[in-house]
Amino acid sequence: MELLVKKFSNGKYENESELFAEPISEETVKLMGEMIALQSLRTIKKYDFDVADKLYVDYIKDLHHMGERDYAVTDGYDCAQIAICFLWQFAGKSVYDDYGKDRIGKNITIKLACYREVGRYIDGLCRKAMFVGIQFEDHSKPIFCKEKYEP
């Protein structure tokens, strides 16, 4: 991760901790969101081998080819856009400031809340993918209707 932070910040930040020590600003919000999305995809990829793995591979490709002309970003970059939009609400603050309390009553930081927001988005995509690929043997009969509808 340190190499990616150094590469995409053009050497300004050596590692992730230096990046997140900065306040959220116009210069840092994009890189912060991209690194949070990358870490979220890496974590969820361990548990979901289909959707999250494809999103992760596409996202890495997006990061390396973003500056090329006529390059269309994939669905993997949506995770970064969600993180960037979430962080942009807190411009001028640190990612380690309090965001609020979770349902248990524990204080959470802006960074953790951002991880959770990206995780919810990825989880929704994984759940949606479970229901899309259903195959039925006989397509001539209605699936849920027992009788033919007559007006």
d(CA 9, CA 23) in angstroms, rounded, equals: 15
Q: Across the 151 residues of the chain, what is the mean pLDDT of every consecutive 10-residue run?
A: 72 82 90 90 79 85 86 87 93 92 91 92 76 53 48 46
Q: Is the dihedral of CA 63, 65, 68, 74 positive or negative?
A: negative
Please give the pLDDT value at position 86. 94
Supply the pLDDT for residue 67. 80
pLDDT of residue 55: 86
Q: What is the pLDDT of residue 2?
A: 60
pLDDT at residue 84, as a whole number: 93
pTM of the model: 0.77
Specify the 3-state DSSP secondary structure of 72: coil
| Whole-angstrom distance, CA of residue 111 vs CA of residue 20 | 9
How high is the pLDDT of residue 52? 80
